[in-house]
A and B are shown apart, each in its own frame.
Chain A
Amino acid sequence: MPKIKVPAPPVPDQLKPQPKRPGKEYGPQTPVEQGAEAGASAVNWIDERTSLSGAARWMMFRKVPKGTNWFYTLGSATMFAFLSQAVTGVFLAMYYTPSPTQAYDSVRHINNDVFLGEFVHGMHKWGSSVMVVLIFLHMGRTFFFGAYKYPRELNWVIGVVLLILTMTMAFTGYLLPFDQRSYWASIVGVNINGTGPIIGPYLSDFLRGGPYFGATTLSRFYAIHMLLVPGAIAALMGFHLYLVARLGTTAPPWMKPKTAEALREETVST
């Protein structure tokens, strides 16, 4: 079997192995020299034990097709919206109480008393809409650029699951402030689930944790909102990104493949 020569990934000059300078064969000698290379040696220490630099190069220094444009950033934008939601959500959870009698007061405490509380709550609240808008724009980009076609169908399917999980986040998070609007919106949302035939009544009982909106409904929504779904989103997002790196991105549909001049003449002459 002939050995296939794999082209080296395009690496910036700084990262390529450098030839040793004269007189430096034994590494940095003086403390000043050692200090100057502390960062590099720390990275080397980790890389020697994990070989992560190869994975990082594989993930980050990819070839992208000609015509790649700003529309290709919508997926990353969605991911950063999710990261923003995750970080603000963790800090909101430090002050929030998922109990029907205390939830509203704890949210009022966050908004009125906690330093920057209204700002962090606002980031989380408006950021959720930003994430939903971005995920739809990303989906539209993928659809109109034909980026769902072979061999990327599985990534489209994962994306649809991520969309459903994001909507689940928006639905379960809407109840948490526990004001009149979120209470009645959740009643309506759970009853919409109940209109599914046969399993609908059981599904709405499951969501409420009983026949009525009760003591466990809020904590149930809270657990789904902050533990179950974010974990699933993070895991699927990782796999989504792995497949993007594995399969590469598509060129925009208006980029036509350029045929070499010699080949074109050959086609004409025969």
Chain B
Amino acid sequence: MADRRETKSSYTADRGMPGAFEGETVTRRRFMTSTAHVAGGVAAAAFLLPALGFAIGPVFEHFHQPWQVVGDVGDFGPDTYVPRTINLVEGIGDSGKSTVYVRKYNPSVDTVKRDQYNNYIAISTSCMHLGCPVHYVNAAQRFICPCHGGVYDFLGKVQGGPPVRPLDRFYTRVVGTKVLIGARYSVNSELKRYSPRDPGEPLDGIGPILYPSTPDLRLH
């Protein structure tokens, strides 16, 4: 349909913009349309972005694990594990508690280099298959998982079943006569320390690249 007004600008005529003024590259209708779109986009972003940040914020928030007393130095021997309960998450009652198996460093068995954080070995009870609770069977000197049959040896290394890496450990230190438990860390099959990972994430080979540590638990 032809416009009543003449198209003067060859520039606008080429672009098929009838009724445009001389030199006008954006018609008023186009300008109004895009302004409305931008305003709508800004309005939507104004509530969507904060909501999204609200939902994914905890992923990037650092989680602080305080040192907790689990007993006296005399409570733990080098040959067997003693179960102790620690608070992993505060304020949610029993579901925030977790069992940790503690023993003294045993030079005849332990291959890791001794430093100030492993005079006492604290093993996490979260199975490295999918996170079920393992328990220590003293007669067999093994950690056994009830869910899918994961078996770990005395050091927490995988001996059978589906787990992908040895049981996680906790930093320990001695203050006076008390044994304290701190942050969790993960280990590969040589018991080398890594920032904590979730169960089911292997740490051998390219594992640490495929399964990066997340900011909330990364150790500095």
Contact = CB atoms under 8 A, between A and B. Distances in A.
Given A213-B89, A214-B89, A194 B196 contact: no
Interface string A188-212: 1011101101101110111011111
B139 interface: no
Interface stretch (B7-15, B18-26, B115-123, B211-219): B211-219
B210 interface: yes
Contact of A188 (B96, B147, B197, B212): B147
A188 B130 contact: yes
Contacts of A197: 210-211
Interface residues of A, number: 29
Nearest to B57: A209
Nearest to B206: A197
Interface stretch (B58-66, B150-158, B172-180): B58-66
B2 interface: no
A202 B91 CA distance: 24
A209 B58 contact: yes
A108 to B, nearest CB: 15
A187 B214 CA distance: 18
A126 B211 CA distance: 37
A25 B217 CA distance: 82
B197 A215 contact: no
A201 B211 CA distance: 7
B200 interface: yes
A54 B63 CA distance: 59
Contacts of A100: 92-93, 95-96
B91 A194 contact: no
B201 A195 contact: yes
Nearest to A189: B130
A201 B200 contact: no
A239 interface: no
A194 B93 contact: no
Given A184-B132, A188-B147, A212-B88, A204 B198 contact: yes
A209 B58 CA distance: 5
Given A206-B56, A215-B89, A200 B201 contact: yes
Contact of B92 (A101, A190, A191, A205): A101
Contacts of A201: 197-198, 201, 211-214
B132 A214 contact: no
B182 interface: no
Contact of A205 (B58, B91, B130, B132): B58
B130 A206 contact: no
Closest 4 CB pairs of A and B: A100-B92, A194-B198, A195-B200, A197-B210
Interface of B: 55-56, 58-59, 61, 63, 88-89, 91-93, 95-96, 130-133, 147, 196-201, 210-214, 216-217
Interface of A: 100-101, 178, 183-184, 187-188, 190-192, 194-195, 197-198, 200-202, 204-206, 208-216
Given A184-B133, A210-B58, A213-B89, 18 more contacts: A183-B95, A187-B131, A188-B131, A191-B131, A191-B198, A194-B200, A195-B201, A197-B210, A197-B211, A200-B198, A200-B211, A201-B198, A204-B198, A210-B59, A210-B61, A210-B63, A211-B196, A212-B88
30 contacts: A100-B96, A101-B92, A178-B95, A184-B133, A187-B132, A188-B130, A188-B131, A188-B147, A190-B131, A191-B131, A194-B199, A194-B200, A195-B201, A198-B210, A200-B211, A201-B197, A201-B213, A201-B214, A202-B59, A202-B214, A204-B198, A205-B216, A206-B55, A210-B58, A210-B61, A211-B63, A212-B88, A213-B89, A214-B92, A216-B58
